Amino acid sequence: MRLEGRVALVTGAAMGIGKGIALLFAQQGAKVIAADVNAEAGNAAAEEIRATGTHCIFQRTDVSVEAEVKTAVAAAQKEFGQPVDVLANVVGIAHESPAHLLDLADWNRILTVNLTSMFLCAKHVLPGMMQAKRGSIVNITSVQGLFGFPGYPHYAASKGGVISLTRQMAREYAQHQIRVNCIAPGTVETPMNVQVLERVPHPAELRRAWERMHPLGRIGQPIDVAWGALFLACDE
């Protein structure tokens, strides 16, 4: 049990990578608070996790709204009687548009959900971690934050910002025995990417193109990312 006695807040926990991380963290002994804006899917995910005999509560949370983030962190403290030890910042949304056609509203929405939310969640768990003199924050970014693909300037900017934020916070909070890391996956089989495949005229071709981009010859699964997040979250 690599997370025995720890409280983990996982955002975007209703599906995809977030759900995979929440399930694995719970299986490894963590008491999990699963946060997501999708209440129906979030409650179902929490129920599925509890069915394995592990601890999990769901908190409906729009992580782009500071008051709701603060409420989620407080709910974890109230439910489990201790501060959050592990934060998995997973929430991310995407929208396709080249820069010259991109509406400012869409730019702001992607930056707020993908980047600002990670700052807000970290802001509100850090005091408890600093007091406990331990903690781990794992931010999920993307290879797009390193390379940038056509049609996604706002997504790439948000994910690049996550990488820079992670580096800065890692330096600042190491003195408090708090580790801050990020994982930059390639294409992962999440509901968001499934929706992309459903929108294009030739989904099989796009899927094969995604597979060719990855040295393993396949796209990732949520559990692939979850194992990396577990390693970064635990004392190993």
Residues involved in catalysis: 155
* H or E stretch at 207: helix 203-213
- 3 burial (CB, 10 Å; 0-12 / 13-18 / 19+) is buried
Q: In this structure, which amino acid lies at residue 28?
A: Q
Can you tell me the distance from the alpha carbon of 34 to that of 125, in angstroms, rounded to the nearest whole number? 14
Can you tell me the distance from the alpha carbon of 122 to that of 137, in angstroms, rounded to the nearest whole number? 7
Query: Contacts by 209-218 with C-beta closer than 8 Å and gap 24+?
Result: 213/186, 213/187, 214/186, 214/187
**Dihedral (C-alpha) 40, 93, 54, 39: value to the nearest 10 degrees?**
-20
